[in-house]
Amino acid sequence: MPERVTAIVVNWNAGKHLAQCVAALINQCGIDLDVIVVDNASSDNSLEALKTYGDRVRVIQTGENLGFGRAVNRGVAVSHSAIVVAMNPDVVLQPDAVNTMVEFLNTHANVGMVGPKLKDADEQVLASCGEAPRLRDEICRKFLLHLIFPLLKFRRRSPSKPEAVAWVTGACFAVRRRVLDAVNGLDEAIFMYYEDVDLGLSINRAGWQVMYLPHAEGIHIGGESSKQALTRMLVVSEASYAYFIAKHLGQWAARLLRLLRPIEMTLRALLWGSVFLLVRKHRTEARARLRAYWFILTHGAVEEGP
């Protein structure tokens, strides 16, 4: 009898993408899959399409936006599976992806978490894993050097064969339930962003390996929910980053990077100010970004953004 696995999808106004995500989960091959959708108080009709699945899909409505980590933990708390797959609602997995990840976990006792290869809508491979942050890289990022040298961004990569890494993207990953329990789940102090890097580092430190599996594949549309509230999401991201750096690199590193924050925000404002003036089709995004950079400059990194 196939092993039972629980897939937890965290939804917030994902529109049609949620239905596509869940349909791909329902149609996974060789796996007995429970599907839980944790809805963070969506205001759209994304849940409507799930009614056709009846009891096949369990919906947990939180009544508020808990963020990604808390929502995943809420789903894990009601699951009864030894392996959990957590994912964004704008990811569509290939039919054998979950089975591939589960089989790898079942045959590699020292591996606690795995992540698949993800491509964007144009079939371009996304960098979906990486290494632990280094202070020198983070200093370079404050001067936007990661735009020239992308590997500076937590040394993101997309290996062509299975490889042990520090973290895999939170867009989709499979993890042992007992490993999650050992590290106390996802850190709920992180509302959104960086919780995947934090989880990977925590699992590695607990003595388990985190593996990237390029032979398990999916499509990640990317950022569909965040686009609807871009200004606030950018502010939340900065707050999560500040917390993450203090947790993993220490308070002195966090203070140093905080001192460099005005330089970064000014450079970003200059860049996106130019986009606003010169590229008409990106003016809406540029306006939202400029609001966020100004808020961070004047209020700091706080979750209660504009």
Phi, psi of 110 (to 5 degrees): -90, 0
Residues 6 or more apart whose Cβ sits within 8 Å of residue 66: 38, 40, 74
C-alpha pair distances (Å), 205 with each of 72, 86, 210, 229: 21, 21, 10, 34
Identify the DSSP state of 157.
Answer: B
- Tokens found for residue 161: 């064969």
**Angle between helix 283-299 and helix 251-278 axes, rounded to 10 deg:** 150
Beta-bridged to residue 57, according to DSSP, are 35
Question: Domains, the chain, ranges and CATH?
Answer: 4-220 (3.90.550.10), 226-299 (no CATH)
CA distance 28 to 73: 23
What is the pLDDT of the chain when averaged over all its residues? 91
The helix (run of H) or strand (run of E) holding residue 167 is strand 167-168
Nearest alpha-carbon partner for 7 in 29, 38, 30: 38
Instruction: Give the tens place of pLDDT for each residue, 147-198.
Output: 776 655 556 667 789 999 999 999 999 999 999 999 999 999 999 889 999 9
What pTM was estimated for this model as a whole?
0.91
pLDDT tens string 89-147: 999 999 999 999 999 999 999 999 999 999 998 999 998 999 999 998 899 888 888 77
Single-letter code of the amino acid located at 4: R
| Contact by Cβ (8 Å): 79, 35 | no
Q: Is 109 exposed, middle or buried (0-12, 13-18, 19+ CB in 10 A)?
A: exposed
